[in-house]
Chain A
Amino acid sequence: MVLSSSVWRGISKYSFCVGLVAGGLLSAAVLLVVGSLVRIVAPVPVWLGLMAVWFVVMALRELGVVSFPMPQNARLVPESVFRHGPVLGPFEFGYEMGTGVRTYVTSSLPYLLVPMIALFSTPLTAVLAGVGFGLGRSLMTLMNLSYDSDGGWDFAWGRHQRKLQTALLLMFASSAIWIGMAALG
């Protein structure tokens, strides 16, 4: 785990978090542009129906009922990302991580967020989604670093992973319903 590295001192973690948000914004912008071309193929109700089916599939995967691989960049981030110093190094690291395509994706929720942004976002809500994704990752980072310096947070996460991911899945669904209702007008 890179978070257990001793380089996380002072401003570095905040620089990393700013990078996370910036990376999330980049991915959201790309998804908005690509999605604006895809979404004209079918009307909103059709996309919502497909999204509901996709949600069930990903929910079953998240809960461990079914198991199949999804595309991911299956590599760990090397500590050499810090070569640009205590501010720009973590920023670059966070930026790459924030895009969501730099390393492993350990949850199915990003695979639900991607089509949600692509199919239903506006420029403003795409920004909100990018910022939200970065803030979610930032919250994890800051809590991880504040918990202890011995990887205890990761251990605690692993011990309660199923319950925590189930809660996050339910919260994701609760929020997605309002977005779906707004999309229907």
Chain B
Amino acid sequence: MTLPIVLEQPKRIFHPAVGVALMAAVVLATLVAGLTLGPTPAVVASAWLSMAACAGYAVSGST
């Protein structure tokens, strides 16, 4: 008797590129706000948050 092997299909919505796209949206919003308003405290705060998030995500291979 042959047992069927059921392979789990990856959920593409969680593909690594989607995470990068999510952060790109934040970075783009920061860029637009910065170009419009200049380096206001809110823009700088968003820049710190998104910059550090990029660094955190980039070390993805180490876990």
Contact = CB atoms under 8 A, between A and B. Distances in A.
Contacts of B34: 178
Interface of A: 1-3, 20, 24, 77, 97, 100, 103-107, 109-110, 112-113, 116, 121, 124-125, 128-144, 146-150, 152-154, 156-158, 160-161, 164-165, 167-169, 171-172, 174-176, 178-179, 181-182
Nearest to A106: B61
A147 B47 contact: no
B59 A147 contact: no
Given A106-B59, A133-B56, A175-B54, A181 B39 contact: yes
A168 B30 contact: no
Interface in B18-47: 18-20, 22-24, 27, 30-31, 34, 38-39, 43-47
Contacts of A100: 59
A168 B58 contact: yes
15 contacts: A103-B62, A106-B60, A113-B55, A131-B52, A132-B50, A140-B63, A141-B63, A146-B14, A147-B15, A153-B10, A156-B15, A172-B55, A175-B27, A175-B51, A179-B48
